[in-house]
């Protein structure tokens, strides 16, 4: 079994090193991680001497990574949870007094995501070369968005990067939890829709066509609902090869239209007005607005810059316009709450709490309270949505199957009556 010499940091943040037998660098890293040791460098000991080739990045940046890591990392996606874990660990190491470059070295190989390993190794190299931590992150906007890099930059400037990263970690965890609640709530209705569509498709393409052939051979006049069923079955069974691509093309065209400014404005306004969905979309946007703005203001980001970034995370053009108006109003000496209330798009309770926070000088704390309140409201609305959509899906399937059964039985009963 090969022997490896390693260097890293222990749970107390102190330097540690040693040698140990292991099946490979990855196995050694996992073993030492269980002992609360973060590895910054590993070298294989060959014939009693350390190999000059670093198996894990120690100061070589991206070039020090093995070729297989580069290949695997090309097809991986960095998840929000990976970034949140990294942010929490970085905050812990910096709070323990570990220098930034050394902390990056300790964490660059801790992630199981190969692509994230390469990104962190590149950032570490930039930092070692004297670059800014935030500037190095801006080269990876899909992993570290503008909100993240602006907060890191403010932390570097103010000298409180560890506390800023800690706030960022809490913010990312809250966003992940909120997204998970919505996704889990929508999973059941989506599954029911797919199953219902498959069942109805099976009936229309396999069960109905033979029965429709019997009706056609009888030469009897059919009720309107049976004629409609036969027509749908003929189209589904005989022209499915045309219906499927036309349906896909229609969906793609609608999505393309919805991405354009005019189409997106219409869709975003409908999202806020649609029954059941509108309140949930609005509450999610309010919770995201409050949490993001509170986190950025508490980290020292100027209010105008913070609002510009917050505007982009709302994902709704109607609300983005309101936030932009608030930025203009602040330049002219007005308050945020007055503009939000004037728009009528933000709940009155939220506007009142923001106004109190502005008057008392505790806007960040009040926004945190608003975010917590509306995140709880989101959970409530998600529960309501699930409890209503599930029966609706069942009713929809029952109506579809009932229509098919009734349309088939009705002419059979009529023919039986005529024969009697």
Query: Which one is predicted more confidently, 294 or 67?
Result: 294
| Tokens matching residue 233 | 């079955």
| More confident position, 420 or 159 | 159
Chain mean position to CA 81: 10
Asked if residue 102 and residue 52 are part of one domain, the reply reads no
Residue-level pLDDT at 13? 61
Phi, psi values for residue 118, rounded to 5°: -65, -40
One domain for residues 293 and 176 = yes
Q: How many domains does the structure of the chain reveal? A: 3
Query: Which residue range is the domain that position 44 belongs to?
Result: 3-71
Q: Kindly report the CATH number assigned to the domain that includes residue 114.
A: 1.20.81.30
State the average pLDDT over residues 70-96. 78
pLDDT value of position 417: 62
As a dihedral over the C-alpha atoms of residue 152, residue 155, residue 161, residue 167, rounded to 10 degrees, the angle is -70
Shared domain check, 293 and 205:
yes
In terms of domains, do 307 and 388 share one? yes
pTM over 0.85: no
Is 117 found in the same domain as 45?
no
Picking from 165, 183, 214, the residue at the C-terminal end of a domain is: 165
Say yes or no: 66 and 201 in one domain: no
- Determine contact, residues 108/126, Cβ cutoff 8 Å: no
Regarding whether 45 and 89 lie in a shared domain, the answer is no
How many whole angstroms separate alpha carbon 191 and alpha carbon 213?
33
Query: Would you place residue 130 in the very low, low, confident or very high pLDDT band (cuts 50, 70, 90)?
Result: confident
Q: What is the longest distance spanned by two Cα atoms in the chain?
A: 101
Q: What is the structure's pLDDT at 252?
A: 93
Whole-angstrom Cα distance, residue 215 to residue 151? 71
Mean residue pLDDT across the chain:
81
Boundary (domain end) residue, out of 165, 198, 218: 165
322 and 191 inside one domain: yes
- β-bridge mates for residue 9, sequence order: 15, 38
The stretch 293-310 carries a mean pLDDT of 86
Are 168 and 365 in contact by the 8 Å Cβ rule? The answer is: no
**In this predicted model, which residue has the larger pLDDT, 389 or 287?**
287
pLDDT for 75: 54
Of 178, 171, 175, the closest CA to residue 378 belongs to 178
Question: 276 or 360, which is more confident?
Answer: 360
Domain boundary among 23, 53, 71: 71
Output 238 or 169, whichever has higher pLDDT. Answer: 169
User: Quick one: 107 and 211 in the same domain?
Assistant: no
Q: Answer whether 369's CB lies under 8 Å from 165's CB.
A: no
pLDDT-derived band at 420, boundaries 50, 70, 90? low
In a shared domain, residues 26 and 152: no
Q: Are residues 324 and 381 in the same domain?
A: yes
Name 8's bridge partners: 16, 39
pLDDT tens, position by position, 266-281 = 999 998 998 878 888 8
> Could you tell me if 4 and 29 are in contact, meaning their C-beta atoms sit under 8 angstroms apart?
no
pLDDT at 335 over 80: yes
Q: Do residue 124 and residue 255 come from a single domain?
A: no
Q: Is the pLDDT of residue 52 over 80?
A: no
């Amino acid at each position: 079994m090969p022997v490896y010499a390693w260097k890293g940091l222990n749970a107390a943040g102190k330097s540690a090193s040693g040698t140990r037998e292991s099946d490979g660098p990855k196995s050694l890293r996992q073993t030492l991680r269980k002992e609360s040791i973060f590895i910054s460098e590993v070298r294989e000991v060959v014939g009693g001497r350390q190999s000059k080739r670093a198996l894990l990045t120690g100061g070589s940046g991206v070039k020090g990574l093995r070729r297989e890591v580069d290949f695997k990392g090309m097809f991986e996606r960095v998840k929000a949870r990976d970034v949140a874990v990294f942010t929490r660990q970085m905050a812990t190491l910096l709070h323990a007094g570990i220098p930034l470059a050394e902390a990056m070295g300790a964490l660059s190989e801790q992630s199981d995501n190969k692509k994230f390993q390469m990104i962190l190794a590149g950032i570490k190299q930039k930092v070692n070369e004297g670059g800014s931590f935030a500037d190095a992150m801006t080269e990876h906007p899909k992993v570290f968005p503008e909100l993240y890099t602006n907060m890191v930059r403010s932390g570097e400037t103010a000298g409180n990067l560890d506390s800023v990263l800690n706030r960022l970690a809490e913010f990312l965890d809250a966003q992940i939890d909120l997204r998970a609640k919505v996704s889990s709530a929508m999973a059941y209705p989506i599954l029911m829709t797919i199953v219902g569509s498959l069942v109805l498709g099976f009936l229309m393409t396999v069960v109905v066509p033979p029965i429709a052939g019997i009706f056609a051979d009888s030469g009897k006049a059919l009720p309107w609902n049976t004629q409609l069923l036969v027509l749908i079955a003929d189209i589904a069974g005989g022209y499915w090869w045309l219906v499927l691509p036309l349906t896909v093309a229609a969906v793609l065209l609608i999505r393309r239209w919805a991405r354009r400014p005019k189409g997106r404005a219409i869709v975003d306004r409908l999202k806020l007005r649609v029954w059941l969905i509108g309140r949930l979309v609005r509450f999610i946007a309010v919770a995201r607005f409050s949490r993001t703005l509170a986190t950025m203001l508490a980290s020292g980001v100027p209010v105008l810059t913070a609002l510009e970034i917050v505007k982009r995370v709302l994902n709704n053009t109607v609300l983005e316009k309101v936030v932009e108006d608030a930025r203009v109003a602040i330049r002219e000496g007005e308050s945020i709450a007055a503009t939000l209330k004037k728009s009528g798009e933000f709940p009155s309770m939220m506007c009142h709490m923001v106004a109190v926070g502005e008057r008392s000088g505790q806007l960040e704390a009040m926004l945190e309270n608003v975010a917590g309140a509306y995140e709880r409201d989101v959970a409530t609305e998600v529960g309501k949505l699930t409890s209503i959509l599930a029966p609706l899906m069942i009713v929809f399937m029952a109506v579809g199957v009932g229509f098919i059964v009734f349309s088939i039985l009705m002419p059979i009963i009529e023919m039986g009556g005529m024969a009697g």
